Amino acid sequence: MQSFVEWVASTRVSWFMNDHVWVWPATEILHFFGMSLLIGTIVLLDLRMLGMAKKLPLLSLHQLVPWGVLGFAINLITGILFFAGNPYRYVHNISFVLKLLFIFLAGINVLVFYLNVFRDTESVGSGDDAPMSAKIIAAISLFLWVGIMGLGRMITFMDDTF
């Protein structure tokens, strides 16, 4: 692992992230923008599946998913840039490791939703309740994404804790 971290720290990407005063803050702005797209989409869908805003058909809200995917892509790219900029900060940081675990679990949760539950939610119209399986997945999703945001914020404060 140490040789990988040393290699990442020696790349041009790492140099670029650290040697231009504007790059890190610009990357943070992009990361926040991506998070807004991602979390905005997830929260709307999950809260609707949990029973809020029942006047909205689920399929209408599902049309926002490409914006959430765009947000995730932006966050993935900017997250890689952060890691490249200071791999020593992240590799031994318990908050970072837990954040990656939560992202992995959120990915599994999305797969379970689309492989097993989504077809049951396509017909959920205005005023209808989502099936219990969708509500469980929505609650897990909200828990994981709130955790991801919290753990991401804690990375700054938990240096060298692992």
In which band, very low, low, confident or very high, does the pLDDT at 47 lie, cut at 50, 70 and 90? Answer: very high
pLDDT single digits (tens) 109-143: 999 999 999 988 888 888 888 899 999 999 999 99
Q: Which residues contact 111 (CB under 8 A, 6 or more apart)?
A: none
DSSP symbols for 57-124:
-HHHHHTTHHHHHHHHHHHHHHHHHHHHH-HHHHHT-HHHHHHHHHHHHHHHHHHHIIIIIHHHHTT-
Predicted structure pTM score? 0.90
Alpha-carbon distance 150 to 162, whole Å? 17
Domain boundaries, the chain: 2-157
